[in-house]
Amino acid sequence: MLNKIYAYLERNIRMIRSAPGEIFQITIWPLIGLLSIGLLGNFVVGTGASTNTIGFIILGVLIWNFFSVSARSMFVGFMYDVWDECLKHHFTNPVRTRDFLLGNGIFALTSSIIGFILVGLLSIYLFNFNVFSIGFYLIPGLFIVLLHGLADGLIVNSLILRKGYGYHSLGWAIPGFVMIFSGVYYPINTLPEIMQKIAFFLPSSHAIEGLRGIIGLSNAGISEFYIGIPLAIIYFSISAWIFKTSITKAKHNGFITKY
Amino acid sequence: MNPIEVKNLTKKFGKKDNIEIALNNINFTVKTGEIHGLLGPNGAGKTTITNILSGILLPTSGTAKILGKDVIKNSIEIRKNIGVCFGGSRFYYPLTCQENLKFHARLHGMKNPELDKRINELAEELAFKSFINKKFADCSKGMRQKIALAKSLLHKPKILLMDEPTIGLDVEVSMIIRNTLKKLSKQGTTILLTTHYLSEIEELCKNITMINKGKVIVKGKISDVKKKLKFSDNISFTTNQKIDFISKIKGIKSWKDLNGEVIIHTNSPEKLIVPLIKQLEKRKIKFNDLQINPATLEEVVLKIMKE
């Protein structure tokens, strides 16, 4: 099994190496997000807002980048086969769904962490905000976001397998929708009531609120993780099951042979 | 036990009000070390059979067994023992041929140095050493197909499923592929070959299964198939003279004169040829290019397609 996981890691690294644009997804885009939102924060503080506002927003941006990269890595790990129309070939090999999930999941974790560390260090230099001061609690917080991101990627992959290639644009759209409900740039309690109810069922919203609470940027605390962790595990388990059944369905209706 | 056994295999696509029957109770077997030809016109269901045997498509009913094991229940185990090569194969375009092969080899559990050694062996054998480090995107059709064949042979499978492996390729690459298949068959590899090139089937296969519209039309030895479909050999010659008398010669089933080219259908051309020549000489008929023409598989397929 380890050899198969290594196969996916090696493939993804080689794909990134051969397409420099892919490196942008992990590094440049998160950096642009940090700069644009961080500078907006500076402006808002300049108009009289609390100095905590910058930390509040930047933490949201950093966690959001982590989510986006993990979701995208899982999504793209599947799309490599779809884009080059070699999914059919891929599944003539003795691979199980778990090999695919672990291989792409570990790749997603690695690339998300690289992006997070890079942008986290820059945020210290540029905006004097140290996300690493959260310490140990970054681990459960990022764990929630990782699982939520992977689940997001798997759901889009499943939709492509079940409904067709036209659904691939959701790979970029769904994280945007989730962001609105996760309180990336504002506290959850400022959302309309119906949106707050939806936010409650999103693991990422608990991770962001919890991490903010730990460094005194909100009233929430680690209790958020007690809801976020089981939710993230449920999300990931269900999405992995949906992905597995989508592959089986695609083998029934012949969709898998189209890619 | 035959290495490939297909029993009552049926595959339907679509929903209740729009069902398309791709395969309808298909039965055939392939013996060890045999190259078995699966042929039929476009849309006959050949690729659907290959897809089911390779585990990427699930049948609606019936069974398909490889090495005695059901392709659905033992999918992973079977995929360890089969090599699949599709015509017009695609791999990751930004990766080199070697990187693509390494990915598939690792998915088969192969590790270094065994993996590199095997890829080099295949590069020598299939003559792709010169472009092994070329990006797949930059490879020609022939180069790509060599890589597809190499991918199917990486793990030295006992069974090969070849779906139009030489489609659209030049003579040289086609010949390399055909020679490789012959060599593997001699070594005991069982091969199911789907192709449009009937000459390829006649060169490589003893037994064939011919399908059309999802049904088996005929199966067995090529010579038996021709007989079953009542395709007789013929005698042909050219002449400018009238030859109406030949319908009276015993053993002639039918004959036609196509602007000087006479074609005579018979069940036993060898027996007929001597009396025919005697009659032609007796009547002082000048003739040229007299020859016996065996019925071709091409004629058989054309007949099926028309029907």
B138 CB neighbours in chain A (<8 A) are: none
Q: What pLDDT is attached to residue B304?
A: 66
Q: Is A197 touching B (CB cutoff 8 A)?
A: no
Q: Is A2 touching B (CB cutoff 8 A)?
A: no
Domains identified in chain A, total number? 1
Q: Which helix (H) or strand (E) holds A108?
A: helix A97-127
Task: Indicate the residue of A18, A90, A248 with minimum beta-carbon distance to B94.
Answer: A18
Q: How far apart are CA A244 and CA A238, in angstroms?
A: 10
Output the tens digit of pLDDT for each of chain B's 307 residues: 899 999 999 999 988 788 889 999 999 999 999 999 998 888 889 999 999 999 999 999 999 999 999 999 999 999 999 999 988 778 999 999 999 999 999 999 999 899 999 999 999 988 889 999 999 999 988 899 899 999 999 999 999 999 988 887 778 888 888 999 999 999 999 999 998 777 788 889 989 998 988 999 888 888 787 777 666 677 888 888 888 888 888 888 788 888 888 888 887 777 888 888 888 888 888 888 888 776 666 666 776 666 6
Residues 276-305 of B with CB under 8 A from A: none
Task: Please compute the mean of the pLDDT values over residues A32-37 and round it to a whole number.
Answer: 85
Instruction: Note whether B86 contacts A88, CB cutoff 8 Å.
Output: yes
Q: What pLDDT is attached to residue B270?
A: 78
Q: Is A89 touching B (CB cutoff 8 A)?
A: yes
User: Do strands B288-293 and B234-238 pair parallel, antiparallel, or not at all (unpaired)?
Assistant: antiparallel
Nearest CA to CA, how far is A4 from chain B (Å)? 5
Which residues 6+ apart lie within 8 Å of B82 measured at CB? A92, B53, B54, B66, B157, B158, B159, B160, B161
Q: Is A10 touching B (CB cutoff 8 A)?
A: yes
Parent domain of A47: 2-258
Helices vs. strands in chain A: H and E counts, helices first: 11, 0
| Residue A166 in this model has a pLDDT that exceeds 70 | yes
Nearest CA to CA, how far is B10 from chain A (Å)? 12
Q: Is A94 touching B (CB cutoff 8 A)?
A: yes
B91 CB neighbours in chain A (<8 A) are: 84, 86, 89
Q: What pLDDT is attached to residue A21?
A: 75
Per the confidence metrics, is the pTM higher than 0.90? no
Say how many C-beta atoms besides its own lie within 10 A of residue A144's C-beta. 31
Q: Is A84 touching B (CB cutoff 8 A)?
A: yes
- The alpha-carbon radius of gyration of chain B (Å, integer) is 24
| Residue A244 in this model has a pLDDT that exceeds 80 | yes
Q: What pLDDT is attached to residue B305?
A: 65
Please calculate the CA angle B216-B222-B224 and round it to the nearest 5 degrees.
85
Residues 6-45 of B with CB under 8 A from A: 13
Q: Which helix (H) or strand (E) holds A254?
A: none
Q: Convert the pLDDT of each residue in A107-144 to its tens digit.
A: 999 999 998 999 999 999 988 899 999 999 999 999 99
Helices (H), chain B: 46-53, 75-81, 97-107, 114-125, 141-153, 171-186, 198-204, 222-228, 269-282, 297-306
Band of pLDDT at residue A194, cut at 50, 70 and 90? very high
Structure tokens at A56: 């509040």
Q: Is A18 touching B (CB cutoff 8 A)?
A: yes
Structure tokens at B126: 């299939």
